[in-house]
């Protein structure tokens, strides 16, 4: 396959071989059997309806694209709605929906609020139709009260304290721990630390222990250094971090004893075992006899000569370890496997009986072969024990130091949140109390992405669910408590975070058993219809994973006889799609080698990966330019850049090559979905500003600034060379200051400004450099984006955010901030959920939950990478470290094999996720992998699986390796999206000019301080003053809430509330009650407290003052809006009340004048009246319009 350039440099179409069977099978069935498709759709709707039933627990297995998020939203909405017979729905705070990520929680919350919000404004007919669709009822069965209740749900959800509980498992745990901190034994004010802070604490703990071990336990440190190889001693203890909760606080001696017993390790050290093996246990006399016989032979075969040489070495005085390695080579291959042939020829075996007696291996073991075989097993166990013991001696103090660092900060990491909550909900004597307190406020649990739930998370979820089945209300027939779980074992791809699909299947069986015992049967809706992908894409997915080679379920360890054939049903039966399998991009004859100093991830221009990246970019360019169609709302339209999603397995050389190739084709690309902050050149440009401010004599830093985007002196011959040449000891900064050429003036002024403000905190310093506009009206941001493009905005913004957070938490110092950033290797996560007109290149893990019309998989040819984690956890939380498979004791060998099998299944699950991101089209490609003369892909690779699946669909068993295989067909090309730009008028000249200044920024001022810039001087704050303030606050509170009650209920409610303030004398409470009721019951004030009014109404707006535009943010005590007028009232508890309106405090009038002015803009055409209600009397002053107008003029300085 090739992506060639045609005339005018445009890429031509790819030459493809379409198999004659391309339209057979799934696609044709979908097109011809409409009845079958309709029946499938009805079944899918019924499955969704069953899953959303609010009165039944359910366990839902949902294929990719089957609408599980919609079902979750529907179920929550149905839980909130009124039930049959007018019973109220579930209160929002009794529903808990646990999601896997914050993004998923936010998406679900947003969709739910959009649904509830649309109900709140829908007319009766629209709302009846929507509710009927949701609940599968007759629209006419809804009473007006049902509609009113549905409309009220939006406000009810918004006003729920703490909001709707749609949150991640970590957020849920944090909330539980904050509610029960003493029972959980955590600090009541604990903070949750992010990964970056946790990494910092771990690094400090590791550093301290490594330095300590260098003095106190050098042998253990040496053992770990040897086990770590080139990664160093710290690499091995780092593996303990993932199991910190199992090991923190364990006794090291007891743990080492458990390790020794589990491995059945001998008491002798590994060194002693080797010494004895080559010393007292070695049959020296027999070996000497063999050597003597062989040395007397005149012509020895190579095998026999090797035997003699190695036996001679064994009898030498070399170190025992070296002699043992030589001796073992008689029995072992270079890979460490036991040889299948004897280490001598048949002729020597017949001639030398000692050789056969000792070293026979082909037909049973000789005595030495038997001894060494057993010794190696004992040695493996002992070496694994010694490495693990060293790991325990150094690793446990690291864990302890890490825990101490968190305690010192009163902080919990994500693992702590889960573990502390699990202990809280399962601890005898405490769990019962906590669950009892939770039991009354939690009626419905919904678990999203359940396949990614870890065993520890299942424990705490089950603790809540078990209480459902045993606690209060477990047997209630009306409004039962429910559990809803949705997941898909095929999409469990987060094993590195503890996800276990086998546990997911176990929990499903437990759910079925529990439901059958309670209700006779379990509610198990099966959602197999995809609303996302075309039939061709889904047919290809089925073909890939229904291969006989899997011998059972490809995604889990389900027994073969229980595994079902994978089958997706496509809703989009009449929309054509296509799957293309490109041939492997091979090596070329002229491919150049890498230079000796190339980076480890460097790939040459002519390498297969680099050429594949260019080929993909050229094909995307062709598809966009020629209008290759994708489906939008049922119509074929030309492909746009945002329609493409390129998925790789990891961010490496191919990932970077793809982004580079797309940019070379002038295609908009979103850039990396994750990046290390320091790796971005824009961040380095900004940090250079700090480096220069701290040390102006750093010539390299200043040279980078001058050539960088902030100064733009890019002509080396005319710019940098005149400055740098012939300096004779002067710094580059000295030369820049002395330069007379006007071309250097802007750069000099910029650098002088940096030095003048180097005392600023990091956030202020960087913000100034980025926002300050210079002579050409360009800001630092403008210059960065012009030079580096829009992708520079995210990492630089992240740097600014870090600076802000640092300045808030640490001493504001540029030097300390720079030191922290330069030691930071954490990754910045970029949200690429929305395409935003750009091609997205990301990992499959990052694309979980996303989709695109065209998905390209270029990283498919390699086998699953070998497992590099040598830490294994045995039953009982016993750690064992074994570096490589050839050194594994038997108990670890079985664990490693099981881990490799699980990794192969996870690789297939990852492929399933990748394939099912595609809506319309899939393109599978790959760069040559392995030996140049090989097929170019591993037998266990994604490419091999996809090729076999494609051949089964197309009937192309005879297809050549270099052919393109295609399944399906697409619509003819349509007008490319870019043609919309043709015929546009040129942009007017003013669009190229900088925008005029926006004038002064409005000030923000409290309404009570409109007449002065300074705070009013308070009266001396003695007991009398405090009592007056408290009296005023209580009267205001009563006047805020009592108008909402019926008149005959107000006095009793006020008395009850006032009794809570036992610190007041009875006479004081009686006086407050009398004053409040006097105002409320005054006949002249009936319109003030009429129904429909709002208390404590917020008012925000802008007014003109003598010092410029001013924003005020305040609250008015009472707001009443009618068709004709707006009435605002403020309560005043001053005593005595003024005798006339002219005696009212001027600051009160200014405040009311500002409120009235703002509200007149809010409700134009309505009269705005303002008044002050003095409770002393009571008396109500309506403020004349002329008084308000004069006050506004006075504020603006015009009076």
Across 738-745, average pLDDT: 89
988 found inside a domain: no
Is residue 970 scored above 80 in pLDDT? no
CB neighbours of 190 closer than 8 A, spacing ≥ 6?
177, 178, 181, 410, 411, 412
Q: Is the pLDDT at 715 greater than 70, yes or no? A: yes
Residue 477 token pair: 């027939």
Whether the pLDDT of residue 575 is over 50: the answer is yes
User: Considering the chain, what percentage of its residues have pLDDT values greater than 70?
Assistant: 87
pLDDT recorded at residue 36: 66
Tell me the mean pLDDT in the region 434-450.
83
pLDDT of residue 982: 44
Report which DSSP code applies to 933: T
Nearest of 431, 458, 446 to residue 482 by alpha carbon: 446
Same domain, 1032 and 1105: yes
Q: According to the model, what pLDDT value does residue 696 have?
A: 92
How do residues 140-160 score in pLDDT, each as one tens digit?
Answer: 888 888 898 999 898 888 877
Domain membership of residue 24 (yes or no) is: yes
In terms of domains, do 392 and 463 share one?
A: no
Residue where a domain terminates, one of 463, 497, 522: 522
Q: Is the pLDDT of residue 602 over 90?
A: no
25 pLDDT band (50/70/90 cuts)?
very low
Cα separation, 924 vs 944, whole angstroms: 11
Q: What is the rounded distance in angstroms from the CA atom of residue 1076 to the CA atom of residue 1081? A: 9
Per-residue pLDDT tens digits for 562-574: 567 888 888 888 8
* pLDDT at 424 > cutoff 70: yes
Q: Would 528 be classed as within a structural domain?
A: no
User: Is a pLDDT exceeding 50 seen at residue 751?
Assistant: yes
* Residue 485 dihedral angles phi and psi, to the nearest 5°: -125, 130
Q: Which two tokens stand for residue 410?
A: 């009163």
pLDDT beyond 90 at 241: no
What confidence score (pLDDT) does residue 995 get?
55
Last residue of a domain, one of 374, 391, 408: 408
Domain assignment present for residue 983? The answer is no
Q: Are residues 574 and 504 in the same domain?
A: no
Pair (210, 357) in one structural domain: yes
Which of these, 127, 100, 98, lies nearest to 115 by C-alpha position? 127
Mean pLDDT in residue range 557-566: 68
Residue holding tokens 């509609």?
147
pLDDT in tens, 278-335: 999 999 998 999 988 888 887 888 988 999 999 999 988 889 999 999 999 999 888 8
Count of the separate structural domains present in the chain: 5
> Residue 832 in 3-state DSSP?
coil
Note whether 591 and 606 are within 8 A (CB): yes
pLDDT of residue 177: 94
Which has more confidence, 1108 or 617?
A: 617
CATH code, domain carrying 655? 3.40.50.300
- Are 345 and 476 in the same domain? no
The pLDDT > 90 percentage for the chain reads 36
Looking at the predicted structure, is the pLDDT value of residue 1019 above 80? no
**Pair 435, 500 in one domain:** yes
Residue 362 pLDDT > 90? no
Tokens of 918: 């595609």
Classify strands 58-62 and 526-527 as parallel, antiparallel or unpaired: parallel
Q: How confident is the model at residue 802 (pLDDT cuts 50, 70, 90)?
A: confident
Instruction: Please give the pLDDT value at position 385.
Output: 94
Residue in the structure block whose two tokens are 């924003």: 1111
Higher pLDDT, 594 or 1042: 1042
Give the residues across from 287 on adjacent strands: none
Among 703-712, 1015-1024, 1040-1049, the minimum mean pLDDT is found in 1015-1024
Residues 204 and 338 in one domain: yes
Question: Nearest Cα to 1089, choosing from 1130, 1134, 1129, 1043?
Answer: 1043
Is 305 within the bounds of a domain?
yes
pLDDT of 555 over the 80 cut: yes
> What per-residue string of b and e applies to 38-54 under the rule 16 or more CB within 10 Å gives b?
eebeebbeebbbbbbbb
Higher pLDDT, 466 or 916: 916
- Whether residue 658 is found in the same domain as residue 540: yes
pTM of the model: 0.76
**Residues 987, 989, 990, 993, CA torsion sign:** positive
Alpha helices in 860-889 (DSSP H): none
CATH number at residue 1175: 3.90.320.10
Of 259-263, 495-499, 878-882, 1012-1016, least confident by mean pLDDT is: 1012-1016
User: Residues 1026, 1136: one domain?
Assistant: yes
Rounded Cα distance between 136 and 962, Å, is 54
Per-residue model confidence (pLDDT) at position 599: 56
The residue among 829, 860, 880 that closes a domain is 829
pLDDT of 221 higher than 70: yes
pLDDT score of 232 = 61
Report the distance separating Cα 518 and Cα 515, nearest Å: 5
For residue 1178, what are the contacts with CB-CB under 8 A and spacing of at least 6? 1075, 1078, 1079, 1082, 1085, 1137
User: Which pLDDT score is estimated for 206?
Assistant: 87
Same domain assignment for residues 919 and 1008: no
- Residue 1178 preceded by cis peptide, ω within 30: yes
Does 751 reside within a domain?
Answer: yes
Domain that holds residue 871: 16-53+533-589+604-672+838-974
Mean pLDDT, the chain, rounded, equals 84
Give residue 378's pLDDT. Answer: 94
Average pLDDT (443-465) is 90
Residue 977: pLDDT above 90?
Answer: no
Closest among 844, 835, 800 to 648, alpha carbons compared: 844
Ramachandran region, residue 671 (left: φ > 0; alpha: ψ -120 to 50; beta: rest): left
Q: Residues 43-84: pLDDT tens digits?
A: 888 888 888 888 889 999 989 988 888 899 999 999 999 877
* Residue 19 pLDDT greater than 60, yes or no: no
Q: Look at 56-60, 299-303, 397-401, 583-587 and tell me which has the smallest mean pLDDT.
A: 299-303
- Are the C-beta atoms of 994 and 782 separated by less than 8 Å? no
pLDDT beyond 50 at 32 = no
Residue bearing tokens 């006050």: 1191
The verdict on residue 481 lying in a domain is yes
Average pLDDT of the segment spanning 1120-1138: 90
């Amino acid at each position: 396959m090739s992506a060639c350039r045609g005339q005018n440099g445009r890429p031509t179409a790819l030459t493809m071989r379409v198999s004659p069977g391309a339209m057979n099978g799934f696609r044709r069935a979908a097109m011809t059997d409409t009845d079958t498709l309709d029946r499938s759709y009805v079944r899918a709707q019924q499955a969704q309806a069953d899953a959303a039933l609010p009165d039944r627990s359910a366990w839902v297995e949902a294929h990719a694209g089957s609408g599980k998020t919609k079902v979750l939203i529907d179920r929550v909405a149905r839980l909130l709605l009124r039930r049959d017979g007018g019973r109220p729905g579930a209160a929002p705070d009794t529903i808990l929906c646990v999601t896997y990520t914050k993004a998923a929680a936010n998406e679900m919350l947003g969709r739910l609020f959009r649904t509830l919000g649309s109900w709140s404004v829908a007319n009766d007919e629209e709302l009846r139709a929507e509710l009927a669709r949701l609940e599968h009822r007759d629209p006419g069965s809804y009473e007006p009260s049902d509609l009113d209740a549905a409309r009220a749900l939006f406000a009810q959800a918004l006003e729920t304290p703490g909001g709707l509980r749609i949150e991640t498992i970590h957020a849920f745990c944090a909330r539980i721990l904050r509610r029960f901190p003493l029972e959980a034994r955590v600090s009541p004010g604990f903070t949750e630390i992010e990964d970056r802070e946790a990494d910092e604490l771990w690094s400090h703990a590791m550093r301290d222990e490594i330095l300590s071990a260098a003095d106190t336990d050098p042998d253990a440190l040496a053992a770990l250094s040897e086990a770590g190889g080139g990664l160093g001693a710290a690499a091995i203890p780092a593996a303990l971090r993932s199991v910190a909760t199992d090991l923190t606080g364990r006794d090291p001696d007891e743990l080492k004893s458990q390790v020794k017993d589990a491995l059945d390790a001998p008491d002798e050290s590994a060194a002693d075992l080797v010494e004895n093996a080559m010393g007292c246990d070695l049959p020296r006399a027999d070996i000497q006899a063999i050597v003597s016989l062989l040395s007397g032979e005149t012509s020895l075969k190579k095998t026999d000569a090797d035997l003699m040489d190695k036996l001679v070495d064994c009898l030498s005085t070399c170190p025992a370890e070296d002699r043992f390695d030589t001796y073992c080579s008689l029995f072992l291959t270079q890979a460490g496997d036991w040889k299948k042939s004897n280490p001598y020829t048949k002729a020597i075996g017949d001639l030398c009986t000692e050789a056969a007696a000792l070293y026979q291996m082909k037909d049973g073991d000789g005595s030495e072969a038997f001894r060494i075989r057993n010794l190696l097993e004992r040695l493996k166990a002992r070496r694994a024990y010694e490495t693990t013991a060293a790991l325990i001696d150094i690793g446990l103090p690291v864990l302890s130091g890490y825990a101490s660092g968190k305690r010192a900060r009163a902080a919990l990491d994500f693992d702590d949140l889960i573990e502390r909550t699990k202990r809280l909900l399962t601890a005898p004597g405490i769990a019962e109390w906590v669950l009892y307190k939770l039991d009354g406020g939690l009626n419905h649990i919904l678990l999203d992405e359940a396949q990614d739930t870890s065993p520890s998370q299942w424990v705490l979820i089950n603790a809540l669910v078990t209480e459902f089945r045993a606690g209060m209300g477990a047997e209630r027939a009306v409004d039962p408590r429910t559990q809803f779980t949705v997941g898909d074992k095929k999409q469990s791809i987060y094993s590195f975070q503890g996800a276990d699909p086998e546990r997911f299947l176990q929990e499903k069986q437990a759910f079925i058993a529990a439901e059958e015992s309670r209700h006779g049967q379990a509610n198990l809706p099966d959602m197999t219809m995809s609303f996302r992908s075309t039939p061709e894409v889904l047919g290809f997915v089925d073909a890939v994973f229904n291969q006989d080679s899997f011998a059972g379920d490809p995604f889990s360890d389900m027994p073969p006889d229980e595994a079902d054939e994978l089958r997706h049903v496509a809703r989009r039966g009449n929309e054509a799609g296509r799957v293309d399998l490109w041939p492997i991009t091979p090596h070329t004859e002229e491919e150049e080698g890498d230079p000796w100093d190339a980076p480890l991830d460097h790939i040459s221009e002519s390498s297969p990966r680099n050429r594949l990246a260019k080929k993909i970019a050229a094909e995307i360019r062709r598809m966009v330019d020629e209008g290759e169609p994708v489906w939008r709302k049922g119509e074929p339209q030309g492909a746009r850049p945002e329609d493409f999603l390129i998925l790789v397995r990891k961010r490496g050389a191919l990932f970077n090559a793809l982004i580079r190739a797309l940019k070379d084709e002038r295609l908009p690309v979103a850039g990396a979905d994750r990046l290390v902050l320091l790796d971005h050149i824009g961040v380095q440009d900004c940090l250079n500003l700090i480096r220069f401010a701290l040390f102006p004599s750093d010539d390299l830093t200043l040279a980078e600034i001058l050539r960088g985007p902030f100064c733009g002196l890019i002509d080396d011959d005319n710019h940098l060379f005149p400055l740098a040449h012939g300096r004779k000891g002067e710094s580059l900064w000295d030369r820049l200051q002395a330069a007379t050429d006007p071309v250097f003036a802007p750069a000099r002024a910029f650098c002088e400004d940096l030095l003048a403000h180097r005392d600023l905190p990091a956030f202020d310093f960087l913000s100034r450099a980025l926002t300050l506009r210079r002579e050409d009206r360009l800001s630092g941001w403008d210059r960065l984006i012009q030079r580096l493009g829009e992708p520079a905005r995210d990492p630089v913004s992240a740097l600014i955010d870090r600076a802000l957070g640092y300045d808030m938490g640490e001493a504001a110092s540029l030097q300390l901030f720079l030191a922290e950033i330069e030691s930071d290797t954490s990754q910045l996560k970029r949200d690429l959920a929305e395409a935003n007109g750009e091609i997205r290149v990301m990992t499959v893990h990052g694309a979980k939950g996303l989709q695109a019309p065209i998905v390209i998989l270029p990283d498919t040819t390699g086998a699953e990478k070998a497992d590099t984690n040598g830490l294994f956890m045995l039953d009982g939380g016993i750690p064992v470290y074994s570096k490589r498979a050839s050194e594994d004791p038997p108990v670890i060998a079985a664990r490693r094999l099981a881990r490799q099998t699980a990794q192969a299944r996870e690789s297939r699950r990852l492929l399933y996720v990748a394939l099912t991101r595609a809506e319309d089209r899939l393109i599978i490609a790959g760069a040559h992998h392995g030996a140049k003369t090989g097929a170019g892909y591993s037998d266990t690779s994604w490419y091999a699986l996809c090729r076999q699946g494609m051949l089964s669909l197309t009937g192309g068993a005879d297809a050549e390796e270099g052919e393109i295989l295609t399944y399906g067909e697409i619509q003819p090309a349509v007008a490319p999206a870019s043609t919309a730009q043709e015929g546009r008028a040129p942009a007017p000249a003013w669009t190229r000019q900088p925008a005029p200044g926006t004038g002064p920024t409005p000030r923000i001022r409290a309404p009570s301080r409109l007449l002065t810039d300074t705070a009013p001087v308070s009266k001396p704050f003695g007991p009398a003053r405090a009592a007056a303030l408290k009296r005023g606050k209580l009267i205001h509170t009563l006047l805020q809430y009592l108008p909402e009650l019926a008149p005959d209920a107000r006095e009793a409610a006020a008395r009850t509330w006032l009794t809570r303030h036992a610190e007041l004398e009875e006479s004081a409470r009686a006086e407050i009650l009398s004053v409040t009721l006097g105002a409320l019951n005054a006949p002249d004030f009936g319109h003030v407290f009429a129904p429909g009014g709002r208390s404590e109404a917020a008012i925000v707006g802008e007014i003109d003052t003598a010092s410029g535009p001013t924003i005020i943010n305040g609250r008015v005590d009472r707001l009443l809006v009618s068709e004709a007028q707006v009435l605002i009232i403020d309560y005043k508890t001053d005593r005595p009340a003024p005798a006339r309106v002219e005696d009212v405090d001027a600051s009160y009038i200014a405040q009311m004048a500002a409120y009235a002015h703002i509200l007149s803009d809010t409700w134009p055409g309505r009269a705005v009246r303002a008044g002050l209600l003095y409770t002393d009397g009571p008396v109500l002053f309506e403020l004349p319009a002329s008084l308000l107008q004069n006050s506004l003029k006075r504020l603006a300085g015009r009076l």
